[in-house]
Chains A and B, each alone.
Chain A
Amino acid sequence: GAGVSQSPSNKVTEKGKDVELRCDPISGHTALYWYRQSLGQGLEFLIYFQGNSAPDKSGLPSDRFSAERTGGSVSTLTIQRTQQEDSAVYLCASSPIAGGQNEQFFGPGTRLTVL
């Protein structure tokens, strides 16, 4: 079956512009996660959804970052007024439910470059 998909695969934007990154989880997976992979910070957690609600937004680096999930499926991560330090690969993952033993399946990522 289809895995986690993300779009766009690459995004180049100018400093100060807003960007939207999209994630389509595996069908039927109720838990969805966003991570960021950057050279200086490694792989870091941003936010997770159980259904449409986000119990843990603790990893969002600033109020310029927001995310939503609709219909228990697609999620959008929005970064407003992008800065150069936002340049990274943004990874989305999903799992059947949120929980310690459940594997998280990762998408290919969106590479964001802020000029």
Chain B
Amino acid sequence: GDSVTQMEGPVTLSEEAFLTINCTYTATGYPSLFWYVQYPGEGLQLLLKATKADDKGSNKGFEATYRKETTSFHLEKGSVQVSDSAVYFCALHSSYKLIFGSGTRLLVRP
């Protein structure tokens, strides 16, 4: 069945460092892909999405490109801030539901 694999955390970075969180997927066809973020004490919220191959989703300085050749949707940000500390979930849309990766905790130190 469809699945999502993302890098295990925690990822600890200093402020202004470059961030990459890897995400790869297995799916039939070309599903929509998402990154959701869960800030401490808050609910899940959509960070960005891409609905077809080569699409780039972007929001709040984060970007991810839908790569069908490598079945990947890696999350990147050029300069992280302390306020980006959160858990990040990669997900794909499969038969009306979301299938999530295991989540990656990011901790940004001042």
Residues of A at under 8 Å CB distance from B?
31, 33, 35, 42-45, 48, 50, 55-56, 59, 91, 93, 98-101, 103-109
CB contacts between A and B, total, < 8 Å? 51
Which secondary structure characterizes the binding site on chain B? strand
Distance, CA A98 to CA B93, complexed state (A):
10
Given the complex, which residues of A lie within 8 Å of B49, measured CB to CB? 101, 103
Given the complex, which residues of B lie within 8 Å of A31, measured CB to CB? 96
Q: Which residues in window 4-63 of B have CB below 8 A to A?
A: 31-32, 34, 36, 42-46, 49, 51
Cβ contact within 8 Å between B98 and A101 = no
Q: Number of B interface residues, CB 8 Å?
A: 22
Residues of B at under 8 Å CB distance from A?
31-32, 34, 36, 42-46, 49, 51, 89, 93, 95-103
Cβ contact within 8 Å between A42 and B32 = no
Given the complex, which residues of A lie within 8 Å of B51, measured CB to CB? 100-101
Distance, CA A55 to CA B99, complexed state (A):
17
6 closest cross-chain pairs (CB), A and B: A43-B100, A106-B44, A45-B97, A100-B93, A100-B32, A98-B96
Cβ contact within 8 Å between A56 and B32 = no
Given the complex, which residues of A lie within 8 Å of B46, measured CB to CB? 103-105
